[in-house]
Amino acid sequence: MDRFHISGPTPLIGRVCASGAKNAALPALAASLLTDEPLTLCRVPRVRDLRTMRRLLDYLGVGSEERQAPGSEAPRAVRETALVLQRARPSSSTDAPYELVKTMRASVLVLGPLLARYGSARVSLPGGCAIGVRPIDQHLKGLAALGADVRLAGGYVEARASRLAGAHFRFDLPTVTGTENLLLAASLARGTTVLENCAREPEVADLARLLNVMGARISGAGGDTILVDGVDGLGGAAHRVIPDRIEGGTYLIGAAITGGDVLLEQASAADLAPLLDKLAEVGVEIEVSPAGIRARTGGGLRARDVATAPHPGFPTDLQAQYMALMTRAEGTSTIRETIFENRFQHAPELARMGARIHVDGGSARVDGPTELTGAAVMATDLRASACLVLAGVAAAGTTVVDRIYHLDRGYEGMELKLQGLGAHVARVAESQAI
Ligand code: EPZ
């Protein structure tokens, strides 16, 4: 149970390099179940969720080995990794046990490829999540539309199909991993699949790019209608995972909340457009150049409302970090969370630092500006922890962020990156805690 000890306030100044996207790497790793040939994935972030996915794949017979990607001269914290995945033994099991799945919901991404490749899959239901109920009904409905016999028994999804068949399926709502699961499954189905009302997140398009290099025939990914012409088999591939727009966006918000000046390298301005537009509205100077995306604040910050939405709307995974920013802005802002029903748990923790936030159901009203002061706070989920760390760097005094294991799920070397930007952040193991 590591903690972060942060002393502030410190303006974040300098360059930071975006890591690979956790939410693109996870489905990319699951794609390894679709072939016996080696899959080489570059820029896979070294975060806990990827280690969990590797353990699950190992359990399912796919081994993985980390190799240093040629030419990655960056400091140790963000040195690029090439992960080589290959089936190590004939498929012995198509079971994804609760013990492995319960620690990471994205484990459900093995369901589609197992079913498509081996005709059966038994995958534990993910169980509860801090930010919302998060059902997987759309995943199951989609696979049933492709002809699978899908049942729930004993906390598991049991799915069978001699061979999936192409079909027309419309999601009731855009779901990121739901769309990814169907892409993985439909790639090996007989015939053509038309998916409508798909998630348009860049991570979905990145998965389609990888699958097409493996030999799939997917078109339209990144839009709300995707066509998949099923093929009989898929080969190996080499693929570089897209940069993490959520991690990158976190550092850009860090520049804004601390009155700093940060150049984010190796990030995609197109993928970050919803955030960059909002930051410009708030009064942050944004400069996009071949060197990267620069964020700095000249004058004060203006309070601006935001509502989260599926891409290309404002990402829910940056909502918490944005709330921290709004505590420093001039005026009142309303933040509406429309994706998850319980994603304001960072608000009472920010209030411990002096923030004035009123939560009412799916809306939070933030009154600013507030001079945040350091306090002991507790992380409740991945993005809430990033929010508290940014608030800690901006706050006067010492902030201790507890339960940092949430952060380690999705941020590669955060304390090293922040130290590189001048922050006074130390990771303290519980045993060393004062
Ligand atoms: C992905 O989760 C991301 N995770 C999440 O990031 C992200 O918050 C989310 O998309 C939204 O952008 C990964 O990619 C691994 P959804 P996912 O299915 O796919 C409802 C992070 O911090 N829904 O798009 O699970 C659902 O309850 C994480 O990195 C159904 O009702 O999200 C939610 O309200 C957190 N039935 C909405 O749709 C379904 O079958 C969108 O969820 C599926 C989803």
Q: Is 45 in the pocket of ligand 1 (CB under 6 A)?
A: no
Active-site residues, by number, are 129
Contact 4, 392 (CB under 8 A): yes
Contacts of 154 (CB under 8 A, 6+ apart): none
Partners of 240 in beta bridges: 42
Give the pLDDT score at 10.
98
In angstroms, what is the C-alpha Rg of the chain?
Answer: 21
> Ligand 1: which of 125, 175, 271 to mutate, most ligand atoms within 8 Å of CB?
175
Contact 138, 168 (CB under 8 A): no
Q: pTM for the full model?
A: 0.96
**Which residue's alpha carbon is at the smallest distance from atom 43 of ligand 1?**
136
**Which residue's alpha carbon is at the smallest distance from atom 9 of ligand 1?**
176
- The closest alpha carbon to 87, from 38, 26, 27, 52, belongs to 38
Instruction: Give residue 270 CA to ligand 1 midpoint distance, Å.
Output: 21
Q: Is 132 in the pocket of ligand 1 (CB under 6 A)?
A: yes
Give the pLDDT score at 71.
58
- Residue 215 to residue 211: CA distance in whole angstroms: 6
**Which residue's alpha carbon is at the smallest distance from atom 24 of ligand 1?**
175
Contact 58, 418 (CB under 8 A): no
Q: Which atom of ligand 1 is nearest to the CA of 199?
A: 24
**Which residue's alpha carbon is at the smallest distance from atom 35 of ligand 1?**
317
Q: Is 138 in the pocket of ligand 1 (CB under 6 A)?
A: yes
> Ligand 1: which of 22, 23, 133 to mutate, most ligand atoms within 8 Å of CB?
23
Q: Is 106 in the pocket of ligand 1 (CB under 6 A)?
A: yes
The string of pLDDT tens digits covering residues 217-237 is 999 999 999 999 999 999 999
Q: Which residue bears the tokens 């013990």?
A: 99
Instruction: Give residue 402 CA to ligand 1 midpoint distance, Å.
Output: 25
Partners of 5 in beta bridges: 400, 426
CA distances from 310 to 162, 201, 301, 313 (A): 34, 7, 26, 5
- Residue 68 to residue 80: CA distance in whole angstroms: 7
> Ligand 1: which of 49, 129, 134 to mutate, most ligand atoms within 8 Å of CB?
134
Can you read off the two tokens belonging to residue 395?
């706050």
pLDDT tens series, the chain, 434 aa: 799 999 999 999 999 999 999 999 999 999 999 999 999 999 999 999 999 999 999 999 999 999 876 655 444 444 567 899 988 776 667 899 999 899 899 999 999 999 999 999 999 998 778 899 899 999 999 999 999 999 999 999 999 999 999 999 999 999 999 999 999 999 999 999 999 999 999 999 999 999 999 999 999 999 999 999 999 999 999 999 999 999 999 999 999 999 999 999 999 999 999 999 999 999 999 999 999 999 999 789 999 999 999 999 999 999 999 999 999 999 999 999 999 999 999 999 999 999 999 999 999 999 999 999 999 999 999 999 999 999 999 999 999 999 999 999 999 999 999 999 999 999 998 776 54
Q: Is 156 in the pocket of ligand 1 (CB under 6 A)?
A: no
Give the pLDDT score at 69.
67
Q: Is 317 in the pocket of ligand 1 (CB under 6 A)?
A: yes
Contacts by residues 289-294 (CB-CB < 8 Å, ≥ 24 positions apart): 291/263, 291/265, 292/15, 292/263, 292/264, 292/265, 292/266, 292/267, 293/248, 293/252, 293/263, 293/264, 293/267, 293/269, 294/261, 294/262, 294/263, 294/264
Instruction: Give residue 340 CA to ligand 1 midpoint distance, Å.
Output: 8
CA angle 218, 239, 311 (to 5 degrees): 55
- Count Cβ atoms within 10 A of the Cβ of residue 117 and give its class: 0-12 exposed, 13-18 middle, 19 or more buried: buried
CA distances from 352 to 276, 378, 380 (A): 29, 10, 14
- Residues counted in the chain: 434
Give the pLDDT score at 75.
46
Q: Which atom of ligand 1 is nearest to the CA of 311?
A: 12
Sheet holding 39-42, edge to edge: 62-68, 81-87, 39-42, 237-240
Q: Is 198 in the pocket of ligand 1 (CB under 6 A)?
A: no
Q: Which atom of ligand 1 is nearest to the CA of 139?
A: 40
Instruction: Give residue 362 CA to ligand 1 midpoint distance, Å.
Output: 16
**Which residue's alpha carbon is at the smallest distance from atom 8 of ligand 1?**
317
